[in-house]
Structure 1
Amino acid sequence: MGFLSASVAVTRYAVNGEIAEPFMETVAKGLSANVIQEINGDPQKRSVGWAPFDKPYTPDFSAASFVVADTVVFCLRIDKKSLPAGTVKKMYAAEVDRRLRESGREFLSKDEKKEVKEHVENVLLIRMPSVPAVYDVLWKYGEQRLYFFSTQKAAKDELETLFYKSFGAPLIPLFPFTTAETSCGLTDAQIDSLAQAAPSTFATE
């Protein structure tokens, strides 16, 4: 789901800390160094990385513009492969039978069975195309705010981890408490009081 969709789900973040200068050079290096790696034809089950906003399936930042006015625009892309359990079971049984016939034995050892399963999974993963999920990211760097167009916990966790790895600044999810803490100039005592505040009930019985 992206910000150009008819309906969107958005998670807001504060970018906590300063990005090393020169800013745009640091951003460009962070995006390029952590661009999504293709796993088609590879036994890997998943890949996580950045992709250009306008061409998320052609992940090359050297030929892509990622700045619009005062906003850095790009995507988080997560590619996954999920092996059907039935297919793995079928191919595993066939491979075990083949090895028993060729060896003339009645049983395989525990380690041999493990090796067969890993072999079957690797063969299937190499053949299987990955399924990509793309999430838009808008980074208003002048305001130190970032908008991530997903509310899925797994996707948010990947974003927070990769953003820190790429740019050296943690992301703070914004909800009422953290918004007050980061935006209202509160003293330490006021922040402590806010943390201890209990919700009020306005409905009457």
Structure 2
Amino acid sequence: MGLLSSSVSIARYRVEGKFESSILESVRNGLTKNIISQIEDEYAEISVGWTPLESEFDPDFEKFSFSFGTYFVFSLRIDKKSVPSKIIKKHVALEVIKKLKETHRDFLSKNEKKDIKDLITEKLMRQMPSTPNTYDVMWDYENATVLFFSTQKAANEELETLFKKSFQLKLIRLFPFTMIENSLTLKDEEKDLAANLASTKLLR
């Protein structure tokens, strides 16, 4: 689900820090330098990077716009590879049988089996296509806020890490208590009261 979906899940962030040079160029450079990289035909298990909102599989920020009025809109793409353990087990067993026949032996050592498993895993990982997942990002630079269209823990952690790497700005996740803590309208004693709130069980 994303920005243009009829149903969305949203995580809210406050952006800590400002750019010292051109805002538009700073964002463009950060996005371009951290575009999603392809991991097909590679051993890598995961690749994380930015893509344009309009074109998740053609990550070209020169061709597709990311600036809309006072907002920067783009997507985070996470590509993952994994080989089911049963498939690895099957191919390892077949390779062990083949090795035993070739060497006319009754068994292989533990290290030999480990080497076979490592080679099989690497081979299958290179052959396995990656599974892409895309999450939209809407950044209101003037108000220093970001809406991220996912509440998945792993996706949010990848966003926070890549955002810091790309723009040298820190994202602060907004929960009710963090919003209270950073409020400019609440007094200190009101913040203390909110910090000491505890849940109450209601019984019929």
Deviation at 1:103, TM superposition (A): 2.3
Asked whether the equivalents of residues 181 and 191 of structure 2 are also in contact (C-alpha less than 8 Å), the reply is no
Query: 1:99 is matched with which residue?
Result: 99
Q: 1:142 to 1:45 in 2, by over 3 A?
A: same
Q: What are the equivalent positions in structure 2 for 1:71-90 lying under 5 Å apart?
A: 71-90=71-90
Q: How far is the alpha carbon of 1:192 from its aligned partner?
A: 6.4
Match of 1:146 in 2: 146
Partner residue, 1:158: 158
- Describe the shift of the 1:31–1:99 C-alpha distance in structure 2 as closer, same or farther (beyond 3 A): same
Q: Distance in 2 between matches of 1:19 and 1:204?
A: 52
Between 1:190-199 and 1:40-49, the stretch displaced more is: 190-199
- Deviation per residue, 1:32-64 (Å, 9 max, x gap): 111111111112121111111100111222322
In the alignment, what sits opposite 2:120?
A: 120
Identity value in percent: 46
d(CA) in 2 for partners of 1:204 and 1:115?
60
Q: CA deviation at 1:194?
A: 4.9
Partner amino acid, structure 2, of 1:140: D
- How far off is 1:191 after superposition? 8.0
Q: How much is the aligned-residue C-alpha RMSD, in angstroms?
A: 2.1
Equivalences, count: 204
- On the 8 A contact 1:177/1:194 being kept in 2, the answer is no
Counterparts of residues 150-189 of structure 1 (less than 5 Å): 150-184=150-184, 189=188
Matched, 1:33 2:33: yes
Matched with 2:111 is 111
Structure 1 residues without counterparts, runs of 5 or longer: none
Distance 2:183 2:57 in 1: 37
Secondary structure, counterpart of 2:77 in structure 1: strand
- Given residue 197 of structure 1, which amino acid in structure 2 is its aligned partner? N
Q: Compute the displacement of 1:117 (Å).
A: 1.0
Aligned counterpart, 2:48: 48
Shift of 1:161: 0.9
Tell me, in whole angstroms, the C-alpha distance in 2 between the residues paired with 1:192 and 1:179: 10
- Tell me, yes or no, if the aligned pair for 2:73 and 2:137 is still in contact at 8 Å: yes
Distance 2:58 2:193 in 1: 46
Relative distance call for 1:114 and 1:61 in structure 2 (3 A) is: farther
| Unaligned residue ranges in structure 2 (runs of 5+) | none
* Compared CA separation, residues 92 and 148, structure 1 to 2 (3 A): same
**2:182 partner SS:** helix
Give the stretch that moved more between structures: 190-199 or 172-181. 190-199
Deviations 1:118-160 (A, max 9, x none): 2111211222111100000000000000000001111111111
1:183/1:100 CA distance change after superposition, 3 Å? same
Residue in structure 2 matched with residue 199 of structure 1 by the alignment: 198
Helix, strand or coil at the partner of 2:62: helix
Give the residue type in structure 2 aligned to 1:60: D
TM-score normalised by the chain length of structure 2: 0.90
TM norm structure 1: 0.90
| Counterpart contact for 1:11–1:147, Cα < 8 Å | yes
